[in-house]
Structure 1
Amino acid sequence: MKKIIISLILLLNITFSQTTEEIKNYFKLASDEFNVPAELLEAIAFVNTRWVHIEPEKFEPSCNGQPPAYGIMGLRDDEWFGHSLKEGAKLINLPVEIVKQDPYQNIRAGAALISKIASESGFKKDKIQRIEDYKDIVAKFSGIPQPEIAQIFAYDVYKVLSTGFDGFGIKIEKKEIDMSIFPKDLFEKAGLKIIKPEEINSDDYPPAVWDPSPNYTANRPYTTRIVIHVTQGSFAGSVSWLKNPQSNASAHYVIRSSDGYIVQLVREKDKAWHARCWNSFTLGIEHEGYIENPSVWFTQVMYLESAKLVRNMVNRWAVPVDSNHIIGHNFWQQPQWPIVRQEWDFATYDPASTYPTSCNNHTDPGPGWDWNHYLKLIRGDPTPPTITSTPQSGATNFIAYKSIFITFSLPMDRSSVQANLSITPNDTVTFIWSSDSKTLEIKPNKFWEFSTTYTIKIDTGAKSLYGGKLNAPFILQFTTTQPDIYPPVVEKGFPEGDNISIFAEMKFVFNEIIESASLAGRVKLLDENDQVISITSGKHIIKNDKSIVTFKPASVLLNGKIYKVKFLAGLKDLFGNATSSDYVFTFKTEEGIFQQGVVIDSFETMGPWWKPTLSGSTTGIDPNATDFLITNEKKMNGSYSGKLFYKFTGESGGVVRVYNSSKPNISNADGNIGLWVYGDLSGNQLEFWFYNPDNYIVNLGPVNWYGWKFISYPISSVPGTNKQFHSVVLRQIAGADLEGELYLDDLQRGGKITTANFEKEPIPQNFALHQNYPNPFNSTTIITFEIPEKSHVKLAVYDVLGREVESLIDQNLEPGKYKVSFNANDLPSGVYFYTLKTPKFVKTNKMLLIK
């Protein structure tokens, strides 16, 4: 009987690298499972970790001895903040190590613990709760033992929800939050007074909030330096730790990342315990965040508020503003350290250290701290800013939904720019600034009026963050297009036609931007009986004023079958023009089955492959946007593949060559030379290069597919003797895409797509469902089953809640033994169940996915 073998992909390395889309899905899954608002989970994770999965062994320890947090949810396992890590792991019945390592299980453990705290607080599952009702639960979840600081943590969480956030890949939707849950008298009555800037100010620096720590020594004799620190933890957690008498640590100030809020813990005249033997002559400022993720934590507002504080301090204490006096805790690593250390202050107050080392060995604030920018903010700089990039003034046919982008030479004072900016004729717009305050996006709230000439003027009152003002007014004019009355059109798409790889994925390029909401429910993959096939990894990408829609089948397609991709009528562009009929793309998968050859290179390591820029044949490319590397982003087999990403600079003539310096020998007896190529539908030309012994080039045709496809060439067609394979080359074709990316896997001799008959085996005597292999597995496993008679077979995978996550087979099958590949690339780690159901047989087995 027929034996269907779809694919066996054995992945050995266990890694966790999630996109923000996947993380948002994890929050949603955990929310559904434990009945905790997903947006609350998102905000807690944002405050604790900015959605970064914290693995303490890979991060620098806190310079103040603060115990580490774990995972995206910032779970704890210490005697000060408690043991939420162990408690959460126990609630979801998983080992602590899995909850440490797996982002999804970390989120599940956090959600389970919040649900438990809520239940203990009297929450009823059958009663709808306001999100504000979780306030005290959030405070308790933080593990912060001081109630008033735990409430500060809760305040931070609800503040994020009330304002929303959209930056560095994280998007938290703004919600209407009743912030009166934090009234002054409520906390006073409860003995949980939350300290706010308008209530209590520092005597040393009035914008700061005075919240004393017991950890200090009175009367510091001198002030010669200011030390910059990074907390390696959240703001509220760090304040809590620095007020812990057993921590033996403190700082003069702690600054919050999100808004520059400053708490003072120790008077400047006294010695804070922040830098060991430097404490007697230094002031210490802690900044919220992690040095491993500077772009996420070191915000412009934190730099600004810290610089204002330091500017005030240096004026009062006569500290020079230079890199020898405003220093990082890692100052001992700087090249000038041996010289500066000999100055009287270090020599006097650091006598126990051995020259040229120090009692300090910490590395904060790390290489991501922008010292040049920071010192300029402290000093001020009258250099006038200039405008370095804008749309061409006088441009016509400007698309009415597009934003205007203006880039400045220096980081700008946002309020001064916006106050000095005018638009004629007046229109309603939103100002969006880049994180470095150098680029301003002027976004029309709906779209600019058609066939209209606009003038944007920025007057000379606009100034940089350092104080310099524009020398002259800036004026930009542009004219919008005529009204758009046409619906979107697919200008390029795949798959369509015959002989499509069973590992194909789908990519469709529209001639204009599609309204994302109109895609919902309108993208279908159908089999030859018009039954819907599950799809996954759907993305809507906007690039060059076009929409690119990509997705893939949830399981590998079957050989020799007809499928359809449908975009149902009703797709809209941004002006509301809708398609009136369906777009239908029909394709048939290849009949042949892949026959594995002898692998020459599995692309698990870089090995003998050269980067394109090292080859003299590579030409016409942007070297900063062209490279070849080993990655686990996509793989056909094993754990890694080779990724070639490229960008051509001209309209034609570009060449990207990936050279194999080992030049493997090949012979006619090997049959074919081939490899798996993940195509990008670019239309550029793929080539194999050989020595025979001269250079011989084989044109394999355009990259007109998307997803994995096996590409091979008969070695006997290469003339000459002593043949060697040496390069994979992409040659630019005029009119094709200027940039893209390919993935390469399993270069091999003898591999081919064969039309040979399926392997035959004796008809099974009984129904059977076998244990999947491998198990546990990383992303892909094989499920084997047997049926002794023709039957309708349903094979599906379910999560722990009994929800179907993937239907692998739902059709009539002939008697035989079947092997089906289950690819779980888009599912989080955890326990899953697979069920085989026929009219005469039902069985369920358990499997464990560990990424």
Structure 2
Amino acid sequence: MRRIIVFLVLVLSIGVSAQDLKRYFQLASEEFNVPAELLEAIAFVNTRWVHIEPEKFTPACDDKPPVYGIMGLRDDDWFGHSLVEGAKLINVPVEVVKRDVYQNIRAGAALLAKLSNEKGLKKGTSKIEDYKDVVAKFSGIPQPEIAQIFAYDVYKVLSTGFNEFGIEIERKEIDMSIFPKDLFERSGLKIIKPDEINSEDYPPAVWDPSPNYEANRLYTTRIVIHVTQGNFAGSVSWLKNPNSKASAHYVIRSSDGYIVQLVREKDKAWHAKCWNSFTLGIEHEGYIQDPDRWFTPVMYLESAKLVRNMVNRWAIPVDSNHIIGHNFWQQPQWPVVRQEWDFAKYDQGSPSCNDHTDPGPGWNWGYYLSLIRSDQTPPKVISVSPESGARNFLAYKSVVINFSVPMDKSSVQANLVITPNDTVSLIWSSDQRTLEIKPNKFWEFSTTYTIKIDTGAKSVFGLKIDGDGDGVPGDPYYVEFTTTAPDVYPPVVEKGYPVGENVSVYAEMKFVFNEPIESASLASRVRLVDENDQSISITSGKHVVKDDKSIVTFKPASPLLSDKIYKVKFLAGLKDLFGNATTSDYVFEFRTDPGVFYSGSVIDSFETVNSWWQPSQSGSTTGVEANFVASSEKKFRGSNSGKLTYRFLGESGGLIRIFNPSKPTISNGQGNIGLWVYGDLSGNQIEFWFYNPDNYPVNLGSINWYGWKFVSYPIASVPGSNKQFHSIVIKQIQGADKEGEIYFDDLQVGGKITSVAQNEIPVDFSLEQNYPNPFNSSTLIRFSLPERVQVKLCVYDILGRLIAVIVDSELEPGVHTVKFEADDLPSGVYFYRINAGGFFSVRKMVLMK
């Protein structure tokens, strides 16, 4: 059975790629018969797919017990001992489960399976929603109602999907009604009402009181920013634990900015040791080691709105001396500020009673303080796609409006008018600066639309929109566009690989369509078959839409066989977004390389790239943003390869030079110099640069392949003496892709792909069918010789007239391939004939122009 598994390519902080993690989740799912998507989502909620080794991480400032590994396993008396239990279930030492990513996932999967079996659940027969209580119990949170909030977070990420930082969790249809509408009230949470809190607190927050506080703090002069070093539900659970002796006034969730209040502001929470008497404390979900994964725009925004409300009520100055991190004692101004009355009175430690480092260097203080100060410039639109007045706007595309400041969503939506009226979905970015207006199906063809945002639209700071951008608020914003004429044509392949002759046995498949394809129509319509039309197993399938084109990639589950014909097929019924379907199959035929690769002496295996300069360090590099790193995402051999990520800034003239300052010396006797290159089908040019002793560049051709291919150059063809190899160069070609990723592995001398395997000579004479056939302009003809012999290969037309002599010479034994060019010939039937010693054979070919 053919499987297409989507793998990712982000290298995580632990050195394990997201591709490997997806595979680990899948393997553990199959071994323990639990849903892989639940393992992925649990790991996401607990750790954002980062392997936690507590001794390497900053401890939580509330002394919350640590989690272990990517699955967030526990070993304490509050959250339980899932680490020890999981290790026992898989019969692996606890210390290994702590350190090893895969074993940590296996332990988590085994524990999930145990809990599932106790509930009588089975993968494949039980619905994903049936596992809700199992997921809650897996969390280890002792309060059942808060454990349900952990489960809610897991199912929420499954229902919405996630695709950032290389983490891709596929969106699933989840029935969220499995969680009661009063879920948070059952957890002891309810919306705060002003008459319950004497107006001293923040109404948008949710009240969930902690017993850990002292009544009636005397002073309020500062606000302390914390990071939980753990997930949201677990942190709320711990801060409500009487034995923890810890609390905070508020806790804010990373994914949506949801705020829980644990202690009223007039009371003393236990969050910052001897600063508690004069400070308010706000905990933010996440880890300081991975700020980009946890410190989301919506969390910054909701936290800033909370703090803005607090400083107005408590008369706290908005500056970096009064809105501080728990790491304030590390700041340059600390020795001076510490002499102020509040710190001087209460902070008697040396240098401070606090030793924690949250929120860490990843907290964006400049951005955060600007949000708190609430920019008084009226909001305006800074960009829109399409631009106003655009013609031929694609009818399936969204209108995207970018605002200068975060907007009040409800006021914008209430003041949004689309003419003529159409059904749309409104999607906001987490920082509320970007609004996507997405047609529920697609805009009407050949229609002019006007989108108006009227004067009632406001920023989160309460200022009305400045529609014309003149700095004066209170006028509407307009954008107008006209859609394309009706699309009645099915999708077409613009370029693809592999096709043609001499394709690497390590090739992968990449095909670019001229327009977006309906993803559902791809299912079961992608084939890789051999010359007998037998299916070849494929994996790593992926479909992405970029620049209004669909890109379909996949690869054989194992390397292809040498010297074989294969076909890639896209079966009829492939649809674009408007429902136009292909009526016949797209078929792309190719033949693999007949040769055999013989490895040479490796100069550099790219396990590290410390011996190479970054492209930006070379004066030759121009017109590009590029980065070169060691990566485990794709490798020909070993653990890593060198990964080049690039983006050319112009249309032509860009150049990327990766320089090796060691400049290895090479000599003619070593044969070729070459390396394995994972091509990106960009069409840009790859070169080797040498010293001889002057600089000598060699053009190796365009990168017209996808997957691993060995490229090489004869050292003897480099003129001069004292030859040195010093650079791999990518030159931008006009019209080629402007961005991409290329990998390099095993730079070597003496490596080669032979036309015939060493010591293997054909047993018989033969003349093969030309390839491709029928052909347009050129075709390849192969023949085999068991001995050295005089060969004559000729082409004749249908009347028997001689058209061309392709070969007329004595050749060595082996398999030979020659190219026949027919640019100046008319379409028709032709014959090619070989005379080799006493061997004679004729075959027919068809030229179609």
Decide: shared fold, TM above 0.5: yes
Aligned to 2:389: 394
Matched position secondary structure for 1:178: helix
Mapping of residues 155-166 of structure 1, within 5 Å: 155-157=152-154, 164-166=160-162
Aligned CA distance change for structure 1 residues 93 and 344 (closer, same or farther; 3 Å): same
C-alpha RMSD of the superposition? 2.9
Q: Distance in 2 between matches of 1:111 and 1:662?
A: 48
Contact 1:230 1:365 in 2 (8 A): yes
Q: Distance in 1 between matches of 2:161 and 2:551?
A: 25
Aligned CA distance change for structure 1 residues 755 and 328 (closer, same or farther; 3 Å): same
- 2:513 maps to 1:518: no
Q: Distance in 2 between matches of 1:420 and 1:513?
A: 32
Q: Which amino acid aligns with 1:500?
A: V
Aligned to 1:113: 111
Specify which of 410, 430, 445 is matched with residue 450 of structure 1. Answer: 445
Mapping of residues 375-414 of structure 1, within 5 Å: 375-390=369-384, 391-414=386-409
Aligned CA distance change for structure 1 residues 136 and 351 (closer, same or farther; 3 Å): same
Q: Distance in 1 between matches of 2:585 and 2:130?
A: 47
Q: Distance in 2 between matches of 1:51 and 1:106?
A: 12
Q: Which amino acid aligns with 2:330?
A: Q
Aligned CA distance change for structure 1 residues 690 and 515 (closer, same or farther; 3 Å): same
Contact 2:298 2:432 in 1 (8 A): no
Q: Distance in 2 between matches of 1:582 and 1:229?
A: 59
Aligned CA distance change for structure 1 residues 60 and 757 (closer, same or farther; 3 Å): same
1:515 Cα deviation from its structure 2 partner: 1.0
More divergent stretch after superposition (431-440 vs 535-544) = 431-440
Q: Which amino acid aligns with 1:283?
A: L
Contact 1:382 1:469 in 2 (8 A): no
Q: Distance in 2 between matches of 1:332 and 1:58?
A: 22
- 2:613 maps to 1:610: yes
Q: Distance in 1 between matches of 2:65 and 2:403?
A: 42
Contact 1:289 1:297 in 2 (8 A): yes
- 2:327 maps to 1:330: yes
Aligned to 1:436: 431
Q: Distance in 2 between matches of 1:14 and 1:294?
A: 12
Contact 2:506 2:707 in 1 (8 A): yes
Matched position secondary structure for 2:254: coil
- 2:422 maps to 1:427: yes
Q: Distance in 2 between matches of 1:441 and 1:245?
A: 45
Q: Distance in 2 between matches of 1:159 and 1:414?
A: 21
Q: Distance in 1 between matches of 2:683 and 2:330?
A: 51
Aligned to 2:668: 668
Aligned CA distance change for structure 1 residues 139 and 706 (closer, same or farther; 3 Å): closer
Give the alignment's TM-score, normalised by structure 2.
0.80
1:392 Cα deviation from its structure 2 partner: 2.3
1:507 Cα deviation from its structure 2 partner: 1.0
Q: Distance in 2 between matches of 1:690 and 1:146?
A: 68
Aligned CA distance change for structure 1 residues 464 and 315 (closer, same or farther; 3 Å): closer
- Where in structure 1 are there 5+ consecutive unaligned residues? 1-12, 761-851
Contact 1:509 1:547 in 2 (8 A): yes
Aligned to 2:557: 554
Q: Distance in 1 between matches of 2:488 and 2:39?
A: 43
Q: Distance in 1 between matches of 2:295 and 2:568?
A: 45
Contact 2:17 2:632 in 1 (8 A): no
- 2:19 maps to 1:17: no
- 2:490 maps to 1:487: yes
Matched position secondary structure for 1:71: coil
More divergent stretch after superposition (132-141 vs 394-403) = 132-141
Aligned to 1:745: 745
Q: Which amino acid aligns with 1:434?
A: S
1:528 Cα deviation from its structure 2 partner: 2.3
Mapping of residues 408-807 of structure 1, within 5 Å: 408-472=403-467, 473-619=476-622, 621-623=623-625, 626-755=626-755, 757=757
Q: Which amino acid aligns with 1:511?
A: N
Q: Which amino acid aligns with 2:201?
A: Y
Q: Distance in 2 between matches of 1:339 and 1:124?
A: 62
1:259 Cα deviation from its structure 2 partner: 4.2
Give the alignment's TM-score, normalised by structure 1.
0.80
1:304 Cα deviation from its structure 2 partner: 3.9
Q: Which amino acid aligns with 1:371?
A: W
- 2:222 maps to 1:225: yes
1:179 Cα deviation from its structure 2 partner: 4.6
Q: Which amino acid aligns with 1:461?
A: G
1:132 Cα deviation from its structure 2 partner: 5.7
- 2:356 maps to 1:362: yes
Aligned to 1:798: none
Q: Distance in 2 between matches of 1:258 and 1:751?
A: 51
Q: Which amino acid aligns with 1:427?
A: D
Contact 2:54 2:67 in 1 (8 A): yes
Contact 1:54 1:69 in 2 (8 A): yes
1:14 Cα deviation from its structure 2 partner: 12
Q: Which amino acid aligns with 1:374?
A: Y
1:535 Cα deviation from its structure 2 partner: 0.9
Q: Distance in 1 between matches of 2:735 and 2:209?
A: 67
1:402 Cα deviation from its structure 2 partner: 1.3
Aligned CA distance change for structure 1 residues 153 and 639 (closer, same or farther; 3 Å): closer
Q: Distance in 2 between matches of 1:223 and 1:350?
A: 15
Q: Distance in 1 between matches of 2:611 and 2:68?
A: 38
Aligned CA distance change for structure 1 residues 52 and 611 (closer, same or farther; 3 Å): closer
Matched position secondary structure for 2:113: helix
User: Which whole-Å deviations, capped at 9, do the CAs of 1:261-285 have from their partners, x for residues lacking one?
Assistant: 4333334343322112212221212
Contact 2:129 2:174 in 1 (8 A): no
User: Which whole-Å deviations, capped at 9, do the CAs of 1:470-496 have from their partners, x for residues lacking one?
Assistant: 223222111111111111111111111
User: Which whole-Å deviations, capped at 9, do the CAs of 1:339-363 have from their partners, x for residues lacking one?
Assistant: 211212111111232xxx3222222
Q: Distance in 1 between matches of 2:618 and 2:244?
A: 56
Aligned to 1:68: 66
Aligned CA distance change for structure 1 residues 562 and 136 (closer, same or farther; 3 Å): closer
User: Which whole-Å deviations, capped at 9, do the CAs of 1:696-742 have from their partners, x for residues lacking one?
Assistant: 22111111111111111111111111211122111222222222221
More divergent stretch after superposition (742-751 vs 203-212) = 203-212
More divergent stretch after superposition (329-338 vs 255-264) = 255-264
Specify which of 312, 318, 328 is matched with residue 315 of structure 2. Answer: 318
Percent identity between matched residues is: 72
Contact 1:223 1:282 in 2 (8 A): yes
Q: Distance in 2 between matches of 1:470 and 1:366?
A: 35
Contact 1:42 1:172 in 2 (8 A): no
Aligned CA distance change for structure 1 residues 261 and 220 (closer, same or farther; 3 Å): same
Q: Distance in 2 between matches of 1:596 and 1:30?
A: 36
1:139 Cα deviation from its structure 2 partner: 3.3
1:232 Cα deviation from its structure 2 partner: 1.0
Contact 1:202 1:264 in 2 (8 A): no
Contact 1:16 1:103 in 2 (8 A): no
Matched position secondary structure for 1:416: helix
Q: Distance in 1 between matches of 2:740 and 2:395?
A: 28
Aligned CA distance change for structure 1 residues 563 and 658 (closer, same or farther; 3 Å): same
Q: Distance in 2 between matches of 1:393 and 1:220?
A: 56
Matched position secondary structure for 1:716: helix
Aligned to 2:786: none
Q: Distance in 1 between matches of 2:289 and 2:202?
A: 32
Q: Distance in 1 between matches of 2:162 and 2:421?
A: 27
Matched position secondary structure for 2:142: coil
1:442 Cα deviation from its structure 2 partner: 1.5
1:537 Cα deviation from its structure 2 partner: 0.8
Contact 1:132 1:178 in 2 (8 A): no
More divergent stretch after superposition (88-97 vs 482-491) = 88-97
Aligned to 1:799: none
Aligned to 1:272: 269
Q: Which amino acid aligns with 1:459?
A: D
Q: Which amino acid aligns with 1:239?
A: V
1:437 Cα deviation from its structure 2 partner: 2.2
